[in-house]
Chains A and B, each alone.
Chain A
Amino acid sequence: MVGASLAGLSAARCLRKQGYDGRLVLIGDEPHRPYDRPPLSKEFLAGTIGEADLVLETDGEDLRAEWLLGARATGLDPARRAVRLADGREVRADGVVIATGAAARSLPGSEGLAGVHTLRTLDDARALRDELARGGRLVVIGGGFIGAEVASTACALGRDVTVIEAAPTPLAGPLGETMGAVVSGLHADHGVRLLCGVGVKGLSGERQVEAVLLEDGRTVPAEIVVVGVGARPCVEWLEGSGVQLDNGVKCGADGRTSLAGVVAVGDCANWYDPRAGTHRRVEHWTGARERPDAAVATLLAGGALEPGVPRPPYFWSDQYGVKIQFAGHAAGADSVTVEEGVVDDRNVLAVYRRAGVPVAVLGMNQPRLFMRWRKKLAASL
């Protein structure tokens, strides 16, 4: 396993569960045992849970694995199926699971400026949490899920918050225009300023950030800036290995890559989605947890299995006390209808359809109904 986070750990568990009894090595460049990332922008950032609560392994769990932590993979030799590490070591294997996830994109030119943060790792979250506790005005660049969650958490901590989004509507990609506007309406509900349709030109400040400069000439003062402009798959280390790359590792519908004995899972993997008829890199927790089942089965069977159809992708987000849940694909839908609840009360269930057929469902504070629709979606497609 290269990458020792949710997808790598899940793959290791699946290997043992599916009867693999041999040597198991997990290689991860972070010094930490696998931990849970979703709370990093929510409860952990708010200070209501601590580091011990983030641990993904259960008490007493023993996978009989060797953990090479703080070890970065720098290459894969396809002929010998050997993973090269930054410190010169090499790990040879019969099978390789690529699970190197994604890394936060940063803002060019913001390096070395105090007060500027991205949020992907535990170390990032510690730094941001400590800084938020000290006070100051926060500007979040990017109105996506992580940016919105940081804004929500900081708002609850009493910070003055502005969110800047380059697109006309935040979350239009994952949720579509209509519901993207509804969900991002939560910011205004809670007194957080949302500036849309305007790009960021740069940051001002000598050593400490002082303001965010917008392309329309406006200046937004800030002591803390969080750059939430998405993540890029960590696959540079695979350049030249023969593993086909295309927006991450290009995979079949069961995680198989262009190399025999090598599969990829989690945020770094661009799986073929038979429901959508195209490749999609899914960056959600449940994908990283579930898909290793299929990938490991394929790996152990030497690729001789017919890939099944995975469940429609599902993710959640918690913002301003509202539980947001989404399953399926909004892209390609030609209609969205509110089936239950009231948009203004932020407790809706909305169904996305294409030619009358449900393709996605969104819930805001509707866990019971949402689950019914999520199951229907899985059964119908």
Chain B
Amino acid sequence: MIPACRLADLPRGEAFRLDIDPPVSVFHTDDGEVFAIDDTCTHQDASLADGWLEGREVECPLHASKFALETGAVDAPPARLPVRTHEVVIEDGMVYVRLSTDAPNLPPCIAARLAGGIA
């Protein structure tokens, strides 16, 4: 489990980006739920933490693909692959992320970089 941030430091409607590789974002919805998904859009290189959070969906800041925070499913194109979701655990006011062991759906530009081993 990776500690992300204190819940008190993450206001509703905001996101926190965990700078691991690949990065993960924690979203605090307006209804008080907390979700974690891969931060990188599956379409191209954009940070979903910079996106438009509405209900239980985040809209990519670049081309407006929408992802369901709970399942990672694509709710609107141009992305076609779901974003990977991670388990969130909140203990003593601290938000932790238990990373998924599934393979991420990174966009082609990033996947090529990772495969090449260049950071």
Contact = CB atoms under 8 A, between A and B. Distances in A.
Nearest to A371: B61
Interface string A42-86: 000000010000011011000000000000000000000000000
B46 A367 contact: yes
Given A36-B78, A56-B78, A289-B76, A368 B64 contact: no
Nearest to A59: B80
Contact of B64 (A59, A289, A375): A289
Given A286-B64, A323-B62, 18 more contacts: A36-B78, A38-B63, A56-B77, A58-B74, A58-B77, A58-B80, A285-B63, A289-B64, A289-B76, A289-B77, A316-B62, A367-B46, A367-B47, A367-B50, A367-B61, A368-B47, A371-B52, A375-B52
A55 B64 CA distance: 16
Interface of A: 36, 38, 49, 55-56, 58-59, 285-286, 289-290, 314, 316, 323, 325, 367-368, 370-371, 374-375
B61 A370 contact: yes
Contacts of B80: 55, 58-59
Contacts of B78: 36, 38, 56
Contacts of B108: 49
Interface residues of B, number: 15
A118 B39 CA distance: 37
Contacts of B62: 316, 323, 325, 367
B72 interface: no
A49 B80 CA distance: 14
Interface of B: 46-47, 50-52, 61-64, 74, 76-78, 80, 108
Nearest to A49: B108
Contact of B50 (A36, A49, A58, A368): A368
A368 B15 CA distance: 12
6 contacts: A58-B74, A289-B76, A367-B47, A368-B50, A370-B61, A374-B52
Q: Name, among B46, B47, B78, the residue most crowded by chain A CB atoms within 10 Å (CB to CB).
A: B78
Q: Name, among A289, A316, A374, the residue most crowded by chain B CB atoms within 10 Å (CB to CB).
A: A289
B76 A371 contact: no
A367 B46 CA distance: 8
Nearest to B76: A289
Nearest to B82: A58
Nearest to B49: A368
Nearest to A378: B52
Contacts of B46: 367
A38 B44 CA distance: 13
A371 B51 contact: yes
Nearest to A323: B62
A202 B76 CA distance: 43
A290 B54 CA distance: 14
Contacts of B77: 36, 56, 58, 289
B63 A316 contact: yes
A58 B72 CA distance: 14
B46 to A, nearest CB: 7
The 7 closest A-B pairs by CB, nearest first: A368-B50, A371-B61, A367-B61, A286-B64, A58-B80, A56-B77, A36-B78
A371 B64 contact: no
Contacts of A286: 64
